[in-house]
Structure formats: C-alpha cells, structure tokens
C-alpha cells in the first residue's frame, strides 16, 4: 500500500496549550472548512486521532463503531505505542460523525485486494453517491478497522506526534534529536538526565509542521501492541451503564411500534384502527407508503395498540412464493448456465470430458437473519430545522446523511449521537436502512424525539438476509486418481469477490456465477460470501480427498504447496487437536481452512452424535494467521465469537419463505447456540509477521465445513445442505479413516 | 397503582397492571441497563432478580411483583455490598466478567450476569451440566466459553 503521508498529516493547537495530531484521507481543505465551521473560540479541529493536553493526558479519537470487537481498545493501542505513551495516560473517545473523521483507508485497503468490498458496492450504484464520496465513509465492516485505519492512520499519527515532541524537546535543550529518547509519555535526554512530559511540550509541538517521513516501530520495539490489554468498554458493560442506541431517552420521548409490509416491496392499502386512539398513551396512527405505525408514550403501549390495528397490503407476484419455489428457480438458473466468469484456468470442461472419473455434488444454504441481540431501532428528533439521530450503526456518517435526506434537510443539519452497538454482523451497515427511514418519516410528524423499535419478530422478518445460494460442483480425476479439474457453478449475486476462489493446485478450474436474484432483500452477513462458499468449497475438497483415497488433512497439505501460510495453520490446528490420534469412542475430527479478509484460518471440529443422533460439537481447535496480533486477547475473543456465530448457522440457521414472507418469528423458531451447545474453543495465533489480517469475520467461514466433514467420517453421510438440524443421522455407518 | 422496590427504593407507578416489568423499568423509570431482546422470555436479555431469583422481566406483569424486591444490573453491586460491606464496588460476578473479559457487544450481559448471580447464590459450585441447564441466555457474540470460565473461577475462588 503506497501512502503519501506528508500530504495528509496535520497538527493544530488546542485551547489551553495542547496539540492535536492526526492523519486523514481527506484533503487539508476539508480541515480548514471544519475549523471555519466547527471551531468555537480558540478551539481548533485537526483531522483526528490524538490530543495531548498540558497535564499530560492524552485522548485518542476512534473513528470506528464499537460492537464488541474491541476496536476502541486496539486502535488506541496502536497510536499509543507509536507515541511511546503510558497506557494509563490514555483515554479513548468515539470520533464524532463528521467527515473529517472519515476512514477512507478502509476503501483504499480493500482496493488493493479484490476491489471495492461487497458491502459497499451499493454505494457505487446509488446515484446519490460517487466513488469520491466512497472515500469519506465512517463505516465499520469488512474486518477492516485495525488492518487499515490502525496500520495507516493510528500508527502514523502516533509516530508523527512522537517525532514532533522529540523535536520540541531537542530544541528546548539545544541538543540533537537523536540524543533524545521517549518512554511513558515523556521525552528524555539521558546524557544530561533531563526529562519533559509530553504535556509540557504539547503547546510547542502544535507550532511544528508534521514530519515528512514517519518511521514506524519494528515489532521488537512495541511496548503496548502485542499485549493482552483489557478492553476499555468492558467496565460499562458489566454494570448496566453502557448506552446502546435503544437506550436513548428523554422526558418528552414518544415511542413507535411499526408493522412493515410482510411481503417485501408491497404497499399499504388500508388501515382500520378501530378505537385504538382512545387507548391510554396512544398519540397517533401513522400510515406510511409500506407500513403502519402506532405512536404512544411508551413502547409497550404502542406495541399493544398496534396488535389491534387491522391493515391491508397490496397483493404481489411474490404472495405465493415459497422457499421451494426460490430454490427451484436457482436450479433452473444453474441448468441454463447463462453464467459469468469468476475464474477460468486451463480447460475444465475438456478435462471433464476426458476424465477417468467425475464426481458431482449439489450444495445449498438457506437465507439467514442477522439477529443481533439489540433489536433494530432508531430515535429521531426533528426540531428547529435540524434532525438529531440516535441509533446503533456501523456507519455513523452514512446514517447522518440518510436521515437528513429523508427529513428533507441538508447533511450539515443532521446531528448523530454515538452509542455502543448491541451487535452488528452486517445488519447495521449502509443501505440496510428500513428502520432508519421509517423512524425519520414518523419523527417528522412530531416535534419531540420519537424512538422506533422493531420487535424481535419484526427484526427477524424485516432483515436484509444472508443470501441463500445453490451450487453445482464437479471434480474430474485422471486414471491415477489425481484430481485434474474443478467446476463450480453458483447462484449470485457476488457480494465478496474472491470468496469462491480456491487455493488448491488443481490445474483446470471453471468457477462461474449464475443469476440468483429473488424478491428477498439481501446484505452482508458476518464474513459475507465466505460463509456460503467456504461451506461448499471446503466440503467438496473433502469429497475429493476421500475419493482420492487420501486423508483430508494430508490431501490439503499436498495440494497447498504454493501456500505455506495455509499449510502452517493447518499443521498447527491439526497437531493441537490431536489429528490422527485416538479419539473417544464415537468421536471424529473434521478439518477446513479458508483465507478471508487477509487472515488465514484452519479449524478442526471434534464431533459426535448424542443419544438422539443429533450432532454435538465438543471442541473447535483453531489456528489463525492474522499477520500479527495487536491485542492477542481480542484476537482470541473474535475467533471464539466467529466460531459460535458460524455454529449457530450450521446447526440451526434457516430463514424460509412462505407466501412471500419470512416464516420465522423469534428465537424459538430461529434457534441459537446457547451454553449447552457451545463447544470448548482453543485458539492458536500463528504470527507470520505478514500484513495485518482482519479478525471480526475470518473464523466464521471454515466452521460449517469442519463440522460437516467430521460428521461424514462419523456417519458416512455427506452434508450438502445446511442447517444440520434438518438431517437425519440415525442410520450411520462410519467410514474407514485413511 | 403498581408498588414494588427497585434496588432498595420503593416505586409507586400509575401504570397498567399488565405492563411487563421490563417496560416499567425502561420507559417509566428510565433504567435502561435491563435489555429488551425477544419479548417472549426466550433470550434472557431482560433478566432481573425478584426477591433474589432470576426472572425474565419481559413477560412478568407488574401485577405479579406487587410489593416485591426487584434487583437490576444497576443495583447488583450495591445489593452485594449491603450483604457484605467489605466487598469491593462490583459484585464478584461483575468483577469476574472484567477479569475474564467476557462481554463483547455487551447487550446480553446484564441479563447473563443476573442469571449467573442467581445461579451462584443457590449453587456456588455448579457443574457444567448445571450451568447449561440454568444459564440459557442467548449471546450472539458467542461469549459462552468465557462465561463458563468466569463461573468456574468464581466457584473455585
């Protein structure tokens, strides 16, 4: 990644003699504008990130949302380490939702991989946005925060600030800068025994131009990075004081319960509210184009009243559509094969024609809801020509613009209030805006704050879903049993370019996508296309291994000679899991590996069947190469989290469509892994020293295949459809292990 | 009029007897530490203590807790402190949650901590099977392995 650091480093004085130092993807002119428009009195805004005050306290502004991934800790660790500050002197604040805190590095980072990430591609298609504006996002997604904002912005800002403070101290002491060193928020001159705190130097530092060349530390010099630092957000999350979007409150607040069109995309025709308006606390019945809402002085009163409101929605072509119809459509699409190229290597079709043997497998996965624990909600207060918004979001700037647009205001007249997120997983990314839009339209009718909350049932039925995918795989073998060709046809759309690629040395490959559009709205879901594709590819690779008469682990190792990082994580996970050694009676191990978001993850799942022949996952042993670990404990926590999220999907996850609408309502029919299902998880961090990889998502993709591959050994049944709850494993014949 | 104590303070609320305790706490009293998750007593995010026992407040009408003692996440530490004045600020469970870095997004953790506190009050050294059957809260971030470790650390402390 080539970065012109000089151009984007900025510094400025703050009230009381401190300094703000930052780094941004924005042009300096934006900062001049920010200063002109936002600064009060002697206040000066600089792009971002680090504020040093005379009392030696340091504030680090984080431009990403905290949704449990620990980014409010790991990003400040990166800045503080390069700054050579004592961690105790650091406090952390969420950067305000104004465009000078935009994190366009995310986009630049992805551009180096496979192009713009899938969860952002809608922006390019939306006329309201341009590619240039894409750089001004404040999005948290794509396992990107530490990789891109951290590496390019946080560390650079910290290192630049340190160099400026050293220069000030050297000037004051009239010594050479290279005679000075820094530690624990002080600059020292060892030859003379002098020392100055950063706070004592901050006012002078504010007068300096940021350095042209910034030198980042070698990992051997790290004092904070690489340590398991406790997360700054946890204390508030154990005493009930952490505020989420749904916790916004005010004395005069009103609450809206809303019924959205049950069949996606249909319009409201009529409403019969009966005498609902006479109920206690009920203020208004609001009819919108595609929904009806009750606004009351408590959410419960609004929700109870809405149950009594009758409504009719227009009919639609989708009214009789079921999941079976959608999958039949996928099958037709696969059979017609009007496909677009993803990868063509060699001549896979010719290899199929001349093969000694061909195996085939049709794989499918269903739609999935995100089911974040905090139901979707948004509070909007439109008053005095401005719109204030409180909501848990992965994209504060985007929400601000959206609310302003729906409210008919300019973006500058919208104010965003940050909160923690009660889970994101992709649901709270740009364009998944149904709640935001409706909350704004409802709030336009009042001059007090209105909090719109989706019930769990609405949250589940009005999501933007992980796409259902159907696929057809074939593999061709020569007379020696060597795999010669790989064929994958799958239904789109593609949200994550590269997810269907395989690292294995198969000489002929044909990977193509066919149309898979339906009326069901879709979005990114933790790990995006990797969650479906890795289940397919790592299961089918397992089929190939067994057909080749090879042990699935050994087969992968042989086929990955060009990918030493993949081999290493496989080796570490297999050894730690006791792969190839004796297991308890009735247990088996399944293995899978996948690279996603810059990290490579191998997982070994130890599985058995319970007395009712239901799958049990006892333990998942995981090895992850994420380059290196900024905070090993949050790395482990994210890996654990992604595995549990993947396990819920593998065991239970299934959104079905009946009569055009989602059939599931709440957790009883969209079940979750709980304590009783949760396996022991062992995480091994493999530090390759390569560029940082992402962490929020990469442990999710391999899980379903690892579990299914283990179940194949245990039962002889190849799982080609998820979830596992739909499979009958009662007639099992363990296969002979190679 | 609904009358009950929340964290030691008597509350008299002019609300419908069928209003669930969850919404009385959140929207009437402004105590937002107790969370709405599913509304049907499935996920446990709304767990509070009624007379010391874990109860899912989203399906508990205020008429059912008339005159009773409610403890919420906001009052857990002070209730623990009044039982043992020399205890630190946080209850032992809350401290274990910090020590083991249990929460991720944290949204379910108020309910999780209330459920675990209630379990440990009656069974200070639960087996894994006992944990599984009594802590049935949903955590979408998958904090379960750490919840289990934290519970066991309290049992052996």
Using CB atoms, pick whichever of A280, A299, A675 lies closest to residue B27: A299
Of the two residues A270 and B87, the one the predictor is more confident about is: A270
ipTM summary value = 0.97
A460-487: per-residue pLDDT in tens? 999 999 999 999 999 999 999 999 999 9
B94/A238 touch (CB, cutoff 8 Å), yes or no: yes
Asked if residue A359 lies in contact with residue A475, where contact means CB atoms within 8 angstroms, the answer is yes
Of the two residues A20 and A93, the one the predictor is more confident about is: A93
Residues A263 and A394 in one domain: yes
Residues A84 and A208 in one domain: yes
Compute how many other C-beta atoms are within 10 angstroms of the C-beta atom of residue A507: 14
| Residue A249, domain member (yes or no) | yes
Residues in chain B: 157
Return the pLDDT at A4: 37
Q: If we measure between CA atoms, which residue out of A622, A591, A589 comes closest to residue A608?
A: A589
| Residue A320, domain member (yes or no) | no
Q: What confidence category does residue A9 fall into, taking pLDDT thresholds of 50, 70 and 90? A: low
| A371/chain B closest Cα distance in angstroms | 8
Return the pLDDT at A402: 94
Of the ranges A36-45, A326-335, B69-78, which one carries the lowest mean pLDDT score? A36-45
Return the pLDDT at A136: 40
Of the ranges A374-378, A442-446, A497-501, A641-645, which one carries the lowest mean pLDDT score? A497-501
CATH code assigned to B2-74? 3.10.20.30
Of the two residues A122 and A15, the one the predictor is more confident about is: A15
B107/A371 touch (CB, cutoff 8 Å), yes or no: no
Contacts of A603 (CB under 8 A, 6+ apart): A573, A591, A592, A593, A620, A621, A622, A643, A699, A702, A703, A706
Return the pLDDT at A139: 61
Q: Indicate the number of domains in chain A.
A: 3
Q: What confidence category does residue A129 fall into, taking pLDDT thresholds of 50, 70 and 90? A: very low
Which residues in chain B have their CB less than 8 angstroms from residue A243's CB? 32
A238/B42 touch (CB, cutoff 8 Å), yes or no: no
Residue A33 pLDDT exceeds 60: no
Determine the 3-state secondary structure of A46 from DSSP. coil
Return the pLDDT at A142: 67
Of the two residues A364 and A125, the one the predictor is more confident about is: A364
Residue A173 pLDDT exceeds 70: yes
Residues A517 and A434 in one domain: no
Return the pLDDT at A701: 98
Return the pLDDT at A732: 80
Which residues in chain A have their CB less than 8 angstroms from residue B28's CB? 298
Task: Pick the residue from chain A with its C-alpha nearest to B148.
Answer: A675
Distances (CA, A) of A419 to A207, A260, A455, B37, B77: 34, 26, 20, 17, 24
Which residues in chain A have their CB less than 8 angstroms from residue B113's CB? 238
Residue A3 pLDDT exceeds 50: no
Return the pLDDT at A209: 78
Which residues in chain B have their CB less than 8 angstroms from residue A455's CB? 39
B132/A676 touch (CB, cutoff 8 Å), yes or no: yes
Which residues in chain A have their CB less than 8 angstroms from residue B140's CB? 371-373, 423, 425, 645, 648, 672
Determine the 3-state secondary structure of A618 from DSSP. strand
Q: What confidence category does residue A143 fall into, taking pLDDT thresholds of 50, 70 and 90? A: low
Residue A38 pLDDT exceeds 50: no
Return the pLDDT at A105: 43
Q: Which of B14, B27, B78, B106 to mutate to test the interface with A (most CBs of A within 10 A)?
A: B106
CATH value at residue A262: 3.30.365.10
Residues A472 and A581 in one domain: yes
B148/A678 touch (CB, cutoff 8 Å), yes or no: yes
A423/B143 touch (CB, cutoff 8 Å), yes or no: no
| Residue A736, domain member (yes or no) | no
Residues A73 and A173 in one domain: yes
Residues A291 and A162 in one domain: no
Return the pLDDT at A32: 44
What span, in angstroms and rounded, lies between the C-alpha atoms of A209 and A160? Answer: 10
Q: Which of A239, A424, A644 to mutate to test the interface with B (most CBs of B within 10 A)?
A: A239
Task: Pick the residue from chain B with its C-alpha nearest to A457.
Answer: B38
Q: Which of A185, A215, A234 is the last residue of a domain?
A: A234
Asked if residue A498 lies in contact with residue A561, where contact means CB atoms within 8 angstroms, the answer is no
Q: Which of A402, A429, A453 is the last residue of a domain?
A: A453
Task: Pick the residue from chain B with its C-alpha nearest to A673.
Answer: B138
Q: What confidence category does residue A99 fall into, taking pLDDT thresholds of 50, 70 and 90? A: low
Return the pLDDT at A210: 77
Residue A433 pLDDT exceeds 70: yes
Residue A241 pLDDT exceeds 70: yes
Which residues in chain A have their CB less than 8 angstroms from residue B42's CB? 666-668
Which residues in chain B have their CB less than 8 angstroms from residue A641's CB? 104, 141-143
| Residue A329, domain member (yes or no) | yes
| Residue A105, domain member (yes or no) | yes
Name the residue range of residue A639's domain. 325-367+465-726
Task: Pick the residue from chain B with its C-alpha nearest to A451.
Answer: B27
Q: If we measure between CA atoms, which residue out of A13, A90, A60, A224 comes closest to residue A157?
A: A60
Return the pLDDT at A140: 67
Residues A185 and A285 in one domain: no
DSSP state string for A155-206: HHHHHHHHHHHHHHHHHHHTS-GGGEEEETTEEEETTTTEEEEHHHHHHHHT
With b for 16 or more beta-carbon neighbours within 10 A and e for fewer, the A21-50 pattern comes to bbbbbbeeebbeebeeeeeeeeebbbbbbb
Asked if residue B73 lies in contact with residue A239, where contact means CB atoms within 8 angstroms, the answer is yes
* CATH topology classification for B86-156: DNA polymerase; domain 1 (1.10.150)
State the average pLDDT over residues B87-107.
92
Of the ranges A514-518, A652-656, B61-65, B79-83, which one carries the lowest mean pLDDT score? B79-83
Q: What confidence category does residue A211 fall into, taking pLDDT thresholds of 50, 70 and 90? A: confident
Of the ranges A48-62, A649-663, B69-83, which one carries the lowest mean pLDDT score? A48-62
Residue A111 pLDDT exceeds 70: no
| Residue A735, domain member (yes or no) | no
Does residue B18 have a cis bond before it (omega within 30 degrees)?
Answer: no
| Residue A186, domain member (yes or no) | yes
Asked if residue A509 lies in contact with residue A529, where contact means CB atoms within 8 angstroms, the answer is no
| B145/chain A closest Cα distance in angstroms | 6
A678/B137 touch (CB, cutoff 8 Å), yes or no: no
Backbone angles phi, psi at A504, to 5 degrees: -75, 145
Residues A626 and A694 in one domain: yes
Of the two residues A604 and A46, the one the predictor is more confident about is: A604
Of the two residues A126 and A228, the one the predictor is more confident about is: A228
A666/B77 touch (CB, cutoff 8 Å), yes or no: no
Of the ranges A25-29, A430-434, A734-738, which one carries the lowest mean pLDDT score? A25-29
Residue A723 pLDDT exceeds 50: yes
Using CB atoms, pick whichever of A67, A667, A674 lies closest to residue B105: A67
Return the pLDDT at B79: 81
| B67/chain A closest Cα distance in angstroms | 22
Residue A301 pLDDT exceeds 80: yes
Q: Which of A397, A422, A453 is the last residue of a domain?
A: A453
Residues A133 and A96 in one domain: yes
State the average pLDDT over residues A571-594.
96
Return the pLDDT at A450: 98
What percent of chain A lies above the pLDDT cut of 90? 78
Using CB atoms, pick whichever of A372, A640, A668 lies closest to residue B142: A640
A233/B106 touch (CB, cutoff 8 Å), yes or no: yes
Q: If we measure between CA atoms, which residue out of A589, A638, A661 comes closest to residue A618?
A: A589
| A106/chain B closest Cα distance in angstroms | 22
Using CB atoms, pick whichever of A239, A249, A678 lies closest to residue B94: A239
Return the pLDDT at B87: 64
Range picked from A107-116, B79-88, B91-100 for highest mean pLDDT: B91-100
Q: CB pairs below 8 Å between A and B: how many?
A: 176
Task: Pick the residue from chain B with its C-alpha nearest to A67.
Answer: B105
State the average pLDDT over residues B7-14.
97
List chain B domain ranges. Answer: 2-74, 86-156
């Amino acid at each position: 990644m080539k970065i012109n650091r000089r151009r984007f480093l900025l510094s400025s004085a703050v009230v009381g003699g401190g300094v703000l130092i930052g780094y941004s993807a924005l042009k300096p002119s934006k900062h001049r504008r920010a200063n002109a428009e936002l600064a009060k009195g002697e206040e000066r805004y600089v792009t971002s990130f680090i504020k040093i005050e005379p009392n030696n306290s340091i504030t680090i502004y984080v431009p990403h949302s905290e949704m449990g991934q620990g980014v409010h800790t790991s990003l400040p660790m990166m800045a503080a380490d390069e700054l050579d500050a004592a961690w105790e002197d650091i406090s952390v604040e969420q950067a305000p939702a104004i465009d000078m805190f935009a994190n366009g590095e995310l986009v630049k980072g992805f551009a180096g991989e496979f192009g713009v990430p899938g969860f952002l591609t809608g922006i390019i298609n939306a006329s309201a946005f341009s590619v240039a504006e894409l750089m001004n996002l404040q999005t948290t997604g794509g396992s990107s925060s530490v990789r891109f904002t951290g590496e390019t912005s946080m560390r650079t800002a910290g290192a630049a600030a340190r160099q400026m403070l050293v220069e000030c101290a050297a000037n004051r002491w009239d010594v050479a800068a290279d005679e000075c060193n820094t530690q624990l928020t002080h600059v020292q001159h060892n030859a003379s025994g002098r020392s100055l705190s950063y706070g004592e130097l901050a006012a002078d530092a504010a007068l300096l131009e940021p350095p042209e060349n910034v030198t980042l530390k070698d990992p051997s010099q790290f004092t904070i990075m690489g340590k398991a630092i406790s997360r700054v957000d946890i204390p508030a999350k154990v005493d009930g004081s952490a505020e989420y979007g749904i916790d916004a409150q005010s004395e005069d607040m009103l609450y809206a319960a809303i019924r959205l069109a049950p069949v996606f995309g249909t319009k409201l025709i009529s409403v019969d509210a009966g005498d609902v308006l006479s109920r206690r606390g009920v203020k208004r019945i609001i009819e919108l184009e595609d929904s009806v809402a009750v606004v009351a002085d408590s959410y419960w009163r609004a929700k109870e009243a809405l149950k009594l409101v009758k409504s009719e929605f227009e009919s639609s072509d989708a009214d009789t559509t079921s999941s079976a119809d959608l999958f039949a459509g996928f099958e037709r699409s696969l059979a017609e094969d009007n496909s677009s190229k993803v990868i063509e290597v060699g001549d896979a079709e010719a290899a199929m024609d001349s093969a000694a043997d061909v195996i085939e497998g049709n794989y499918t996965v269903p739609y999935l809801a995100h089911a974040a624990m905090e139901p979707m909600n948004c509070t909007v207060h439109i008053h005095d020509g401005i719109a204030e918004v409180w909501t848990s979001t992965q994209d504060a700037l985007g929400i601000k613009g959206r609310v302003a647009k729906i409210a008919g205001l300019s973006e500058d007249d919208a104010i965003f209030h940050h909160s923690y997120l009660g889970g994101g997983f992709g649901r709270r990314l740009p364009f998944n805006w149904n709640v935001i839009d409706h909350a704004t339209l409802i709030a336009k009718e009042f001059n007090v704050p209105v909090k719109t909350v989706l019930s769990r049932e609405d949250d589940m039925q009005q999501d933007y879903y992980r796409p259902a995918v159907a696929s057809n795989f074939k593999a061709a073998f020569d007379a020696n049993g060597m795999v010669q060709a790989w064929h994958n046809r799958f239904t789109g759309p593609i949200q994550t370019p590269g997810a269907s690629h395989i690292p294995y040395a198969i000489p002929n490959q044909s990977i193509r996508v066919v149309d898979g559009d339906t009326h069901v709205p879709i979005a990114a879901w933790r790990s995006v296309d990797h969650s479906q594709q890795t289940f397919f590819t790592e299961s089918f690779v397992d089929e190939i291994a067994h057909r080749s008469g090879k042990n699935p682990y050994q087969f992968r190792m042989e086929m990955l000679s060009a990918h030493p990082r993949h081999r290493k994580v496989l080796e570490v996970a297999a050894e730690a899991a006791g792969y190839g050694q004796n297991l308890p009676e009735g247990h088996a191990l399944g293995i899978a590996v996948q690279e996603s978001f810059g990290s490579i993850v191998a997982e070994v799942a130890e599985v058995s069947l319970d007395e009712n022949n239901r799958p049990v996952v006892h333990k998942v042993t995981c090895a992850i190469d994420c380059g290196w670990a900024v905070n090993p404990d949050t790395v482990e926590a994210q890996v654990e989290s992604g595995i549990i999220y993947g396990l819920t999907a593998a065991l239970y996850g299934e959104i079905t469509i009946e009569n055009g609408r989602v059939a599931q309502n709440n957790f009883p029919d969209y079940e979750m892994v709980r304590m009783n299902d949760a396996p022991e998880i062992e995480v091994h961090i493999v530090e390759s020293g390569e560029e940082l990889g992402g962490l929020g998502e990469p442990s999710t993709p391999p899980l379903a295949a690892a579990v299914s591959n283990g179940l194949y050994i245990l039962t002889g049944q190849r799982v080609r459809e998820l979830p596992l709850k739909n499979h009958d494993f009662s007639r099992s014949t363990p296969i002979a292990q190679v | 009029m609904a009358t009950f104590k929340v964290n030691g303070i008597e509350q008299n609320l002019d609300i419908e007897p069928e209003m669930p305790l969850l919404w009385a706490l959140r929207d009437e009293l402004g105590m937002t530490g107790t969370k709405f998750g599913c509304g049907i007593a499935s996920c446990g995010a709304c767990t509070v203590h009624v007379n010391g026992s874990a109860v899912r407040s989203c399906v508990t009408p205020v008429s059912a807790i008339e005159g009773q003692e409610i403890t919420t996440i906001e009052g857990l530490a002070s209730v623990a402190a009044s039982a043992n004045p020399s205890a630190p600020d946080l209850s032992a469970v809350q401290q274990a949650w910090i020590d083991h870095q249990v929460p991720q997004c944290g949204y379910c953790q108020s309910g999780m901590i209330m459920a675990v506190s209630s379990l440990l009050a009656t069974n200070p050294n639960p087996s894994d099977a006992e944990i599984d059957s009594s802590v049935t809260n949903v955590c979408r971030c998958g904090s379960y392995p750490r919840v289990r470790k934290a519970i066991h650390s309290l049992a052996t402390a």
